[in-house]
C-alpha cells in the first residue's frame, strides 16, 4: 500500500491511497495520515481494501505524506559516511556501540515538488538523501527484537543542511538548531511489503539515485546500515514513549565504495576531495539549483515517487 497527502489548504492535507500505477488515487477513509497512524490497527484493513482508483494524481498537488509530525529523529547509521567525516574533521569519536541520533525540526516537511526557501546561499546549502520509517505507538524500553513490529510505513527523505552553521553548532556540544531547516519527503509513504525482498533486516536495500542540476551525483544503496531501523527505533525508545507518527531517519545513505557509486550529500563529496586532493573543489548549492532523488525497484518503479525541488531565496514570512 502506498499513501500520499493532497494539498488542500490545511496544515495536514487530505490522505489518499495511491494506485499501483502511481498515477491515480482513491480518497482514504480517514482525513490525515496522522489520524491513520493513531488508529492503525483498526484502519489498516480498510485502507488496504480500497481497489477502485478513479482520480488522476497530479504530482504538483502532493504535500509530504506526513506534512508535520510529533517527532523527527534522525540517525547516522552509515559507517562509511561517519568515518570519512570524522577523518576530515580530525575527530576521534567515543566507541559506544550505540547509534548516533539527533532530534530535529518536525513541525513541517516540505512536499516533493515544493520550492525550498533558504535564508542565505552562503550558508552552505546541502541536500542529504536518506530513508526513514514512520512508527506506531512504541512503548518506552522496547528492544530491537520487538521494534520491527511497530514500523508501519517507509519513506524517502531529503534532510536539508546548512553546513556553514553545522560545525559551530556541533562544537557547542548541545546539538543542531540553525543548521537543520525543514526536511523534504518523497510523495509516497509505503508499507514494507511494497518493497518485497528489498526490505531486509530493517534496511531499505535500494539504490538512492541523486541528481544535482541534471547530473548524476550518487547512487548509494541503503543496505549497509550499521544499525537497522528496528535498532534505531529501540535506541530512540530507550527512555521515552514514541507517539504514533514519529519519523526516524537513517542518515545520509553512504557506501564504502563512495568514490565509485557517488554520494547522497555534498559534504561527503567534499570530504573525499579533501582526503584525496587536500582541499574541496565542489561548492554547495546556489539559489536556482535543483535536486532530484529517486529510489528504484528492479523493474524500474519508484516506490516512494520522486523528490524534485529547487532552492530559492526566502522572501517573507511563511507558516
Task: Label residue 94 by pLDDT band (50, 70, 90).
Answer: confident
DSSP string for the chain: -EEEEE--SSSS-EEEEE-TTSSEEEE-SSS-HHHHHHTHHHHHHHHHH-----EE--GGGB--SSSS-S-EEEE---HHHHHHHHHHHT------SS--EEE---S--B-TT--EEES-GGG-EE-BEEEEEEE--B-TT--HHHHGGGEEEEEEEE--EEHHHHHHHHHHTS--STT----EE-S-EE-GGGGGGGEETTEE-SEEEEEETTEEEEEEES---SS-HHHHHHHHTSSSPBPTT-EEE--S---TTHHHHB-SBHHHHHHHHHHHHSS-----B-TT-EEEEEE--TTS--TT-EEEEEEEE--S---
Contact 111, 64 (CB under 8 A): yes
Confidence (pLDDT) at 212: 98
Question: Would you place residue 318 in the very low, low, confident or very high pLDDT band (cuts 50, 70, 90)?
Answer: low
Cβ proximity of 230 and 243 under 8 Å: no
Q: Predicted confidence band at 96 (pLDDT cuts at 50, 70, 90)?
A: confident
pTM of the model: 0.96
Which residues, other chains included, contact 218 with Cβ-Cβ below 8 Å and sequence gap of 6+? 129, 208, 209, 210, 253, 258, 261, 262, 263, 264
Q: Which position has the higher pLDDT, 73 or 87?
A: 73
Q: What is the pLDDT of residue 319?
A: 54
Percent of the chain with pLDDT over 90: 88
Q: What's the average model confidence in pLDDT over 14-26?
A: 96
**pLDDT 10s digits, 207-237:** 999 999 999 999 999 999 999 999 999 999 9
Measure the CA–CA gap between 46 and 311, rounded to whole angstroms.
39
40 contact partners, CB below 8 Å, separation of at least 6:
136, 152, 244
Given this model, what pLDDT does residue 82 score? Answer: 83
Amino acid at each position: 500500500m502506498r499513501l500520499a497527502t493532497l494539498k488542500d489548504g490545511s496544515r495536514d492535507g487530505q490522505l489518499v491511497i495511491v494506485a499501483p500505477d502511481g498515477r491515480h488515487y482513491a480518497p482514504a477513509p480517514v482525513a490525515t495520515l496522522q489520524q491513520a497512524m493513531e488508529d492503525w490497527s483498526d484502519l489498516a484493513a480498510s485502507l488496504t481494501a480500497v481497489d477502485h482508483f478513479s482520480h488522476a494524481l497530479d504530482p504538483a498537488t502532493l504535500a509530504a505524506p506526513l506534512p508535520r509530525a510529533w517527532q523527527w529523529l534522525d540517525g547516522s547509521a552509515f559507517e562509511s559516511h561517519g568515518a570519512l567525516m570524522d577523518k576530515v574533521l580530525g575527530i576521534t569519536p567515543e566507541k559506544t556501540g550505540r547509534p548516533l541520533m539527533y532530534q530535529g525540526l518536525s513541525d513541517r516537511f516540505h512536499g516533493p515538488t515544493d520550492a525550498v526557501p533558504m535564508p542565505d546561499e552562503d550558508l552552505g546549502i546541502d541536500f542529504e538523501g536518506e530513508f526513514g520509517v514512520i512508527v506506531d505507538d512504541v512503548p518506552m524500553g522496547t528492544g530491537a527484537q520487538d521494534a520491527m513490529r511497530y514500523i508501519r510505513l517507509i519513506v524517502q527523505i531529503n534532510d536539508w543542511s546548512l553546513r556553514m552553521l553545522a560545525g559551530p553548532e556541533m562544537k557547542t556540544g548541545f546539538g543542531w538548531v540553525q543548521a537543520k531547516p525543514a526536511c523534504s519527503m518523497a510523495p509516497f509513504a509505503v508499507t514494507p511489503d511494497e518493497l518485497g525482498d528489498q526490505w531486509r533486516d530493517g534496511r531499505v536495500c535500494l539504490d538512492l539515485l541523486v541528481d544535482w542540476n541534471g547530473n548524476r551525483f550518487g547512487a548509494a544503496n541503503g543496505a549497509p546500515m550499521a544499525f537497522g531501523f528496528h535498532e534505531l527505533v529501540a535506541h530512540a525508545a530507550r527512555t521515552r514513549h514514541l507517539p504514533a507518527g514519529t519519523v526516524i531517519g537513517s542518515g545520509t545513505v553512504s557506501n564504502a565504495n563512495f568514490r565509485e557509486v557517488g554520494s547522497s550529500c555534498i559534504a561527503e563529496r567534499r570530504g573525499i576531495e579533501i582526503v584525496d586532493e587536500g582541499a574541496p573543489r565542489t561548492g554547495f548549492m546556489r539559489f536556482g539549483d535543483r535536486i532530484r532523488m529517486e529510489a528504484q525497484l528492479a523493474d524500474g518503479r519508484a516506490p516512494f515517487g520522486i523528490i524534485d525541488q529547487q532552492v530559492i531565496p526566502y522572501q517573507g514570512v511563511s507558516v
